[in-house]
Structure 1
Amino acid sequence: MTEAQSFLSSYIYFVEIVMLIAAVIIAISSFDDLFVDLAYWTSRLLGTADSKSKELPAVDVLEQLPERPMAIMVPCWKEHEVIFSMLSSNSRLLRYEQAHYFVGVYLNDPLTQDEVRKAQALYKNIHMVLVPHDGPTSKADCLNQTLSEIFLFEAEQKLQFAGIVMHDSEDLIHPLELKLFNKLVDLYEFIQLPVYSFSRSLTSLISGLYMDEFAEMHTKDLEVRQRLSGVIPCAGVSACFSREAIQHLMDKNQGEAFRTSSFTEDYDIAFRVSELGFKSAFIAYPANYAIDINITSGAPGILYRSLPVATREFFPSGLEAAYRQRARWLLGIVFQGAHEHGWRGSLGTKYFLVRDRKGVITSPAVMLGYFALANLTAFELYRLFFNPEQQFTYQLLSKDWAVWLFFVNFIFLIWRLGNRMIFTGMIYNLSHALMSAPRLVVGNFVNFFATWRAVRVYLGHRISGTPLVWDKTSHSYPVHMGELTLPQAPGPVGAGSRSEVAER
């Protein structure tokens, strides 16, 4: 055997080992995913899915409940391009007269301050909270300052907010959201409603990826998580805390409800609410209309379909913006979450903590699988086109157990793609359901880059002591000057066959 042949044989053996390591990790992760899938579909068959939302009254009853004051927190750092549109459009849309917006803005962000003042000139329920130092610090710091202003406002106005709601500057809020929170805050101390991406074009692979992931996560995963663990992670958007819960959190954390050291303050606070013994709920409450945008014109409109009351927003459409955002999530959920919360909680909570954190292992494993598959494909193509007499010997992949392992993973892949298509189709349409398959591959690369960045940033933080600062995402918004108005009497659920977005 020549030196070149010996090297090739050793390299093929190395590729086989890499392929099998990846295959074993992927198989273990797939069994985990299968368990959650089966738990969800079993509950659907038995009619126990969305049990909490089924216990709630009909929309017309919600509409008639006496309104109580609700505070909406909107933390900002350089959001001058979107914040006026967000405030003006939601002020027009929300069917709730006692809503108050508290917008946190830093001293060194005059452009955002100007835009908030423009909105204040039109709507008296908008209050600007000047964070008394330069930014960016952390989103948690901005939220804590906003909460202080909310309590000061209560004292001055001699009122008390029934609930405190979290939203971001890119959110288009469902008109019924506060009506729903008005009822739910008497039942639970923390409520999370679904969050979905606006519809994007079929060619927008990365932004379309968010459509798929949030459709599945906020239809299936959070529902199963609720039943098995009772701890609902906060998405930081379309989330409501009772005033009592916020007060207890502040008392336990030296006057600050949100931990300023946390990169994902929303995820962190939901666990602390649970540790205090408060009740949490994920509610997918069906309404007879939703809000989305027209792909062609970009104009907002009413979607006449029975869908859950949910916030819609734009997510990143570029690769770098997407993986930087996901890296921030990983930093908070995986690294800081493990440090702050460890593995506390019930068996169900521990199980979902594993699911939250497994991405730092599975994402590199998928890339190893792609690397090995690319090499094996190159070997066979070389043999096929350039040296048909060459025979490559696979010492490991030819074994029966290895063949079965890859067969099992192939079945899991088909199952995974089928589920992703179903959930995307539930919220969007058949075209996007079909596109969710190639977007799944794109997502694997985005997640790998995010994992690499998160590990690098966290190690740098631990080694050098470099502080973790607010690595915000640039935002866009579909509504300008509050163009969108809600029809006075939306049709009943399933009215006609209209599922398109009607431009207003």
Structure 2
Amino acid sequence: MAIAEIFSRFAAELALFAGVGFLLFAINDLAVDLIYFGRSIWRSLTVYTRYPRAFASYFVFKKDPGLIAILVPTWDESAVIASMLKATVNRLDYDDYRVFVGHYRNDPATAAAIASVADPRIEAVEVPADGPTTKADCLNHLYDALIGFETAHGCAAKAVVLHDAEDVVHRFELRIFDALIGRAAVIQLPVLPLPDPHSRWISGHYCDEFAEAHVKELVVREAVGAAIPLAGVGCAIERRALGRLAAMQDGKPFAGNSMTEDYEVGLRLGALGLKTMFVRIPAQPGERSIVASRGHFPATLGCAVRQKARWLGGIALSGWDRLGWSGGLGERWMRMRDRRGPLAALLLLSAYGAALLWSQIWLAEALGAPIKARLSPGLITLLTINGWLLGWRVLMRAGFTTAAYGWGEGLRSVPRLVVGNVIAMLAAARAVSLHLGGGASRWDKTRHIFPAVLPQ
């Protein structure tokens, strides 16, 4: 009897801790929802009634389009890099670009795969070190190669674009960057993961998260005056802005010891007072598709945890130390949202722990044991409010996923919330462990695949 009472009390304390935390998080998320929908309604009433909607296909080439450099860092990517490069040069609807592909001297398979794509627009760049180092280090070598190319050809790139070895690059991407990079130092396109029919739950949960984050979250960041963090793919950086960043960091624009160097670039350039922009634009009239970077995400639990741990560690833990809390109210608010991952995982662990304890107590009570779970009126009220807010959150997730992927994926997004929660808790534990151990010093990448059938 005494032990059951202790378990019941402990479950109530866990539920109270999780409930208060979830309430604060839910209010925070609700504020984002209100800003997003308020902005959408305002633009529908004031902007779209006066101006026609833009389409990427409307962006026409200038008489002298600027040189755009695409940086693609690789390590152990012989399985995908040749397919990615062939697809990229065949799809891109742009005249003046170079693809700088980095590979390590101890990775001959990747070097051979790059060399197999015979195209003068592809520049293979060997990193003079045994890999892997870090992705940022590889990118810095590609930046040096770009400087060498500019010097040798007497030209200057207009923008630097980042992509990974498994990306499906949209055909209109460089058109958008060429047209808009003069208005902003940073442009980020949406990232939409490709659904994997062999991994509906692990890989699929990325579809849900990015559908909401890269439709709603980034729009709100821009609306409140916060800098747009780069996703490392489908993004462009104005060449002079990148050079300015390099001049501040010993000639290396990408932080060599960071696990999320792309995220940091966007925030650092925003902190310099430079404009950052998120661009979500339909490809052409009559199509549902938008111009976005597509690609497959990790399909196994272990790979997903490793990737999420790298993001959490770089943004929530190391990012706190490296970037601090500078900027205005909107910037600080968004940095707080970025860094809440470890706390969210702790709240989830507490909530699941309380649910497990209560389920055992209720089961024992149903079997006739003389025990009873006692919930205070205040706790019942808190859990009820959180239940309604959770319902709203589930509706938002399903709605944005449906808009991006259709009803099938929208319905799957509801049970996939649990999958995402489990991955988040495991990733947070790994991230904290790595952070306490000094952080990752090598490129902790996951295995990639390239789609056999390319999306539009």
Given the alignment of the two structures, is residue 140 of structure 1 paired with residue 117 of structure 2, yes or no? no
1:141-156 mapped onto 2 (5 Å cutoff): 141-156=137-152
Counterpart in 2 of 1:491?
A: none
Q: 1:413 to 1:62 in 2, by over 3 A?
A: same
| Residue 390 (structure 1) shift | 2.6
Counterpart in 1 of 2:391?
A: 414
For 2:84 and 2:46, how far apart are their aligned partners in 1?
30
Between 373-382 and 189-198, the greater mean CA deviation after superposition: 373-382
- State the one-letter code of the partner of 1:234: L
Counterpart in 1 of 2:80?
A: 82
SS of 1:307's partner is: coil
- Residue from 287, 304, 308 that aligns with 1:322: 304
SS of 1:235's partner is: coil
| Residue 60 (structure 1) shift | 4.5
- Residue from 148, 159, 162 that aligns with 2:155: 159
Given the alignment of the two structures, is residue 352 of structure 1 paired with residue 349 of structure 2, yes or no? no
Counterpart in 1 of 2:431?
A: 454
Tell me the alpha carbon deviations over residues 94-132 of structure 1, each in whole angstroms, 9 at most, x when there is no partner. 11121210001111111100000001x2x1100001111
- Residue from 261, 265, 272 that aligns with 2:261: 265
For 1:12 and 1:148, how far apart are their aligned partners in 2?
62
Among the aligned pairs, what percent are the same residue? Answer: 35
SS of 1:306's partner is: coil
Normalising by structure 2, report the TM-score: 0.95
1:372-411 mapped onto 2 (5 Å cutoff): 372-384=354-366, 386-387=367-368, 390-394=370-374, 397=375, 399-411=376-388
Normalising by structure 1, report the TM-score: 0.86
Query: Are the equivalent residues in 2 in contact too, given 1:210–1:315 (CA < 8 A)?
Result: yes
Tell me the alpha carbon deviations over residues 455-479 of structure 1, each in whole angstroms, 9 at most, x when there is no partner. 0111111xxxx75221111111014
Counterpart in 1 of 2:59?
A: 62
- Residue from 5, 8, 22 that aligns with 1:12: 8
For 2:395 and 2:220, how far apart are their aligned partners in 1?
18
| Residue 170 (structure 1) shift | 0.6
- Residue from 370, 380, 383 that aligns with 2:352: 370
Counterpart in 2 of 1:433?
A: 410
Query: Are the equivalent residues in 1 in contact too, given 2:361–2:373 (CA < 8 A)?
Result: no
Counterpart in 1 of 2:90?
A: 92
Between 413-422 and 275-284, the greater mean CA deviation after superposition: 275-284
Pairwise CA RMSD: 2.0
Counterpart in 2 of 1:194?
A: 190
| Residue 65 (structure 1) shift | 2.8
| Residue 275 (structure 1) shift | 1.9
For 1:373 and 1:476, how far apart are their aligned partners in 2?
38
For 1:58 and 1:15, how far apart are their aligned partners in 2?
54
Query: Are the equivalent residues in 1 in contact too, given 2:192–2:211 (CA < 8 A)?
Result: yes
Counterpart in 1 of 2:293?
A: 311
- State the one-letter code of the partner of 2:344: T
Query: Are the equivalent residues in 2 in contact too, given 1:206–1:317 (CA < 8 A)?
Result: yes
Given the alignment of the two structures, is residue 38 of structure 1 paired with residue 15 of structure 2, yes or no? no
For 2:291 and 2:387, how far apart are their aligned partners in 1?
36
Q: 1:286 to 1:143 in 2, by over 3 A?
A: same
Counterpart in 2 of 1:125?
A: 121
SS of 1:72's partner is: strand
Counterpart in 1 of 2:450?
A: 477
SS of 2:176's partner is: helix
Given the alignment of the two structures, is residue 248 of structure 1 paired with residue 244 of structure 2, yes or no? yes
- State the one-letter code of the partner of 2:442: V
Query: Are the equivalent residues in 2 in contact too, given 1:194–1:310 (CA < 8 A)?
Result: yes
| Residue 229 (structure 1) shift | 2.7
Displaced runs of 4+ in structure 1, greater than 4 A? 48-52, 54-58
- State the one-letter code of the partner of 1:320: G
